[in-house]
């Protein structure tokens, strides 16, 4: 899979994903001050799933209708917990993500919003 890590997602997550064979780009390597709308456009252009801690990307996709290739919103957790949660999401919802879903996770719940659903 192809991912775009938001600045807040962390560089260690990039290494973890790359070790598992994923193609990963990082916003902070291009421009740490890149606006959210520009990040979504970049991800769309390169067909990448955005990984973030920020809820603004989901709002851009849902409320403003900005096209995207999928978004994973992880909670602000210690690295080991974040990785475990991401691993679970990729195993369980990888097919849904490939179809442009928005996955919002917390320590206790995972919500999947499919394209076109309210």
pLDDT score recorded for residue 40: 93
End-to-end CA distance of the chain: 26
Q: d(Cα 41, Cα 78) in Å, to the nearest integer?
A: 29
Cα 68 to the chain's mean position, in Å? 10
Q: d(Cα 88, Cα 109) in Å, to the nearest integer?
A: 12
pTM (2 decimals)? 0.92
pLDDT tens digit at each of 118 positions of the chain: 999 999 888 778 999 999 999 999 999 988 878 898 999 999 999 999 999 998 888 888 888 888 999 999 998 888 899 999 999 999 999 999 989 999 999 888 999 998 766 5
pLDDT score recorded for residue 20: 95
Number of CB atoms found within 10 A of residue 63's CB? 8
Q: What token pair was written down for 91?
A: 């195993």
Locate all alpha helices (DSSP H) within 4-35, ordered by sequence.
11-19, 27-30
Q: What token pair was written down for 99?
A: 């179809």
pLDDT score recorded for residue 86: 94
pLDDT score recorded for residue 48: 97
Give bridge partners of residue 24 from the DSSP assignment.
3
pLDDT score recorded for residue 63: 81
Q: d(Cα 89, Cα 72) in Å, to the nearest integer?
A: 9
């Amino acid at each position: 899979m192809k991912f775009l890590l938001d600045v807040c997602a962390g560089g260690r997550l990039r290494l973890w994903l790359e070790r598992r064979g994923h193609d990963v780009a990082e916003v902070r390597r291009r421009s740490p001050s890149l606006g959210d709308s520009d990040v979504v456009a970049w991800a769309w252009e390169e067909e990448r799933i955005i990984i973030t801690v920020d809820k603004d990307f989901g709002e851009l996709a849902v409320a403003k209708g900005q096209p995207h290739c999928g978004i994973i919103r992880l909670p602000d957790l210690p690295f080991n917990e974040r990785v475990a949660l991401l691993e679970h999401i990729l195993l369980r919802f990888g097919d849904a993500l490939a179809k442009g879903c928005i996955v919002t996770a917390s320590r206790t719940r995972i919500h999947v919003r499919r394209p076109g659903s309210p």
